[in-house]
Structure 1
């Protein structure tokens, strides 16, 4: 069994880190079209809607895995044939050892459109995990072992099926980690790091990579990566250039285009008061609001008041968000079809919206945060929150350099955006 922490070949991934709308995907399409016929590509995108764009915009023939015999099986067959493949993040998350071996044998180049979910908590109680830790097989051997870094190894080959089948499969695939904090046990699924080591070249198209969980995951596994930015010129089209650090970004045009809502002395109600506390609009806070009718009504009334009376726009010009559990409880009048998931990225579907309502205060999952910190990985929670919010805001008309108005009642999140626009972050 391959150890997760054995370092194979060095993986020098290129993180194409440029602001949304700067042309990262356009560069990737141009790069594919200008490449030689021997280069094989796997283009991985968050949304199936983007799959067609790649198929239609590239001069190479890209094939999308079909589900007739299972998409993963078809993906393996396409790689075995050396085809250029375009698929979703969700499909790649189902990677197994066979696919990894096929990709390595065929020398593929990966273009990853936006970062992936590379770690997620397993739905298993702390008591069940402790029960599993203390269980033995018929010979008295422990069912699982956990090494010093938290990697879980399954030891019982006679266990065929039952409540722990999923745990066994993940452990056998080297994709299961255990973490304990304050006597609470959590198990995590990890994206197989061996996959990233199987590609000939890797390009990750994103923005503010240093604030995203995939960067912490890369640091955990000692992956090598460097940064580049995208620039467009009339004579050469889209090109990779030396990385423009956040401190050197020119955000003047963004500050001119983004109007943040603030209440004035003439207003009877300060719409931002609901977000004054540091934890206001966090997931835990909103789950508490969910059970309180008057508070829910206040949030919904604030949202309606903002877009209808303050911004004076039609529902078709608005997008709003919160955590998925709050989509129905906080539904704003007239905006049933204008909800955009809080983790949305890499879609142009809402580029006509010039008014944004952000009912969220983003924090990393505290157990996930501690998971990385306990392994010596530095985490910047403010940068994480900012990068997530910017990804969402750039689903709107600002990606087309059009002005937008944003209502961000969370004082913390609003402050992060203010600092960003002033080049303080």
Structure 2
């Protein structure tokens, strides 16, 4: 786990009310293992689920619950805490707390600290899946994201209430990794990173299209990781149902030709192009003006024509960025990936096996990173963690080039 960025870091952990508060006890321990100094502030409702004494024993520091603690507030203790914190992490963050933060309320110690501190604030939502999906909750999160608040999660799965869906608190190790990643803000500082993600759809008629199963999750995770590392990120996204990562400029497209135009338009001044999109190789030669009807013989023939090669055209630019491709294969994964690396003159290719629950439409993945001189295997992990590891490798390759701006021929 990449947590060195937390060594000596002063982390104020806020714990809101909810059954997921029990996981915050393990989170305190994991933060300590990563080298962080931890102080805990609980809401009064959180203390109904886990006692303050538990957090005091794990953190080694007194736990604060109220603005009306006369002993602590005699010397303006909440201001001292606000100044002490280098990061504020709220885990779990309930729907109520998210709403109060979004609207700038300061009606308890935790929300007051968030307003009084200059430290970055991060929230890890945990709530019932219907509460998570409610437009009010999503609108409040959008407000927080626009202010630069980090949103970690939530995960999907079975919930304490018996429902199944999004709203589970991320596991403590994942939260530690997310917080550590936020400390890498200078890794790609000053770099322009262009990423393509998701599928492309090629229309057959007004109601049908050719497409693929790419969810876009890997590409969006890479965009998030690049932004966390300090890059200026442009994300060209095919038709997916995913929220835009904080700090990322997004361009939505549908077809391969639209993606080609958007990427070529943005690639002129980028330092890195990571082609994570699953671009359709072919499109119908003609698009029917009206819905194609069934025929008596039960057959239908489509004439297909080849789409433009986005990677090849970016590689041919006079000012060539560092090029990272993806190879999603069902067999002979490394052999096909290496052939693609050489054929398209890539600097790096990320190969992964797809099909039968692998690659597409899942939260976890594994990657093999192949360059002309090295092979690095990244074992199965959440896509966000793999994305951070990929960005680490990209940053190292930029440093190894030794150029002033990170671009130019490989």
Q: TM-score range by the shorter chain?
A: under 0.3
Q: Which has the higher contact order (CA 8 A, sep 6+)?
A: 1
> With structure 1 as the length reference, what TM-score do the two structures score?
0.25
